[in-house]
Structure 1
């Protein structure tokens, strides 16, 4: 996105990301959970955040619905608005990672192009795409918010998986199959990955 003014200059912080990571005694990155509505993204994000807290690892969850109550409340669900939604989340996530936090995002983020746009905002190894994979039939059975039924009834337009596409990740860092794993097992798998990568 083009900056609209030529009269702005990036203000360099006196404290670097490495300084903040040293203070926290752990690395920082974004854990980008993507998947269909009802796949378990928010549940995994919440439990992962709790697990981090218990280990004194600084983290924060950016959840799709919560963000649309504030920062992105002026955006709808058209492809253009979805793209802007994800761009803003990417920029916020970048700030949080710079602050030394593990940033956990739980967004459907249905388009490959948009997720790649965000990936390119980060340095190598700072963007970890986690595909929360679950068959749409199982997501519909769960339907925790009753959204699939509303979409089937035509009450919700441009609903991912029904009237709007979901493009599965091609090369995610991690795949979590929530039709086969519990929430705790899913989080265990993420924690193991982070330990193997020496991020925690």
Structure 2
């Protein structure tokens, strides 16, 4: 990959702090991680909807949607998954800099990738939300029939089947999506944001 060297960083006339002050709330990334079928996208979108209802500046970055555009050139090899997460981390940082609360719904199976993304944010701006759901329950749900295809060998390197998922060791928030409703999960996450004075 050719790297551009003749570039200079330009500071913006309006700062992140200016935007937060105008908005009346903080800006962070809620980084949803978990197995396929765990409920990441459903809960992330429900959080986003509730924030929007409260007139909070928000946006959702969904794994499948991003792969239709920005990351459509990437497959599912370990190297491509790493690059997928790196890119979306940089995009999420732009949203946080713009004063928004951005929710991201990506399997992001490797701890090292998630920690690499965390490192590009200032302290407190990266909130890891582990959507904890047993593999058996995710397979039972299988909303996209991906587990069934993986079991038949039609999908290779599928997380949880023939590629590992490394659960977070110290996430800011853990949601047991097999034990709580979507509404209860949203409440848990918004309570965390209020306790951190982000809302």
Q: Considering the TM-score relative to the shorter chain, is it more than 0.5?
A: yes
Q: How far apart are the structure 2 equivalents of 1:154 and 1:147?
A: 10
Superposition pairs of residues 54-65 of structure 1, within 5 angstroms? 54-65=53-64
Superposition pairs of residues 37-116 of structure 1, within 5 angstroms? 37-116=36-115
1:25-55 deviation per Cα after TM superposition (whole angstroms, max 9, x unaligned)? 1000000000000000000011101100110
Deviation at 1:113, TM superposition (A): 0.3
Partner of 1:147: 146
Partner of 1:34: 33
Q: How far apart are the structure 1 equivalents of 2:177 and 2:4?
A: 45
Partner of 2:23: 24
Q: How far apart are the structure 2 equivalents of 1:39 and 1:3?
A: 38
Partner SS, residue 56 of structure 1: coil
Deviation at 1:3, TM superposition (A): 7.9
Which ranges in structure 2 are unaligned for 5 or more consecutive residues? none
Partner of 2:131: 132
Q: How far apart are the structure 2 equivalents of 1:3 and 1:61?
A: 31
Deviation at 1:23, TM superposition (A): 1.0
1:33-89 deviation per Cα after TM superposition (whole angstroms, max 9, x unaligned)? 000000000000111011001100010000000000000000000000000000000
Deviation at 1:5, TM superposition (A): 2.2
Partner SS, residue 70 of structure 2: coil
Partner of 2:187: 188
TM-score normalized by the length of structure 2: 0.99
List, as ranges, runs of 4+ consecutive aligned residues in structure 1 with deviation greater than 3 Å: none
Q: How far apart are the structure 2 equivalents of 1:57 and 1:41?
A: 20
Q: How far apart are the structure 1 equivalents of 2:87 and 2:142?
A: 27
TM-score normalized by the length of structure 1: 0.98
Deviation at 1:4, TM superposition (A): 1.4
CA separation of 1:163 and 1:50: change in aligned 2, threshold 3 A: same
Partner SS, residue 68 of structure 2: coil
